[in-house]
Amino acid sequence: MTAALENPEHVFLVAAPVAFLTAGVGLGFIMLGVWMGTMAVLRVVRYVDNRMALVQRADIIKAIDAGEDEEQ
């Protein structure tokens, strides 16, 4: 680090890796956010799909019960 302070050209030897590491960490957090958002959306889609299946099953059971009541 002292060499970078003595010679201005050597500043890039320190600044460039720091800049790339900072950018890499930033991109990592962005990718983590995208991943978490995707998982949240998939969780909501799965929940809605399961609820729709339960409603459909309930409608089928009601129709079967209504059909059996009419036969008796």
Task: Specify the length of the chain in residues.
Answer: 72
Q: How many other β-carbons are positioned within 10 Å of the β-carbon of residue 49?
A: 10
Domain count, the chain: 1
Per-residue pLDDT at 42:
98
pLDDT tens digits along 26-64: 999 999 999 999 999 999 999 999 999 999 999 999 988
Residue 62: alpha-carbon gap to chain centroid: 38
Query: What's the rounded Cα separation, in Å, for the pair 12 and 21?
Result: 14
The whole model's pTM is what?
0.60
What's the pLDDT score for residue 28? Answer: 96
Residue 10 makes CB contacts below 8 A (sequence gap 6+) with 3, 4
State the residue range of the domain holding 41: 2-71
**Tokens 């409603």 — which residue?**
55
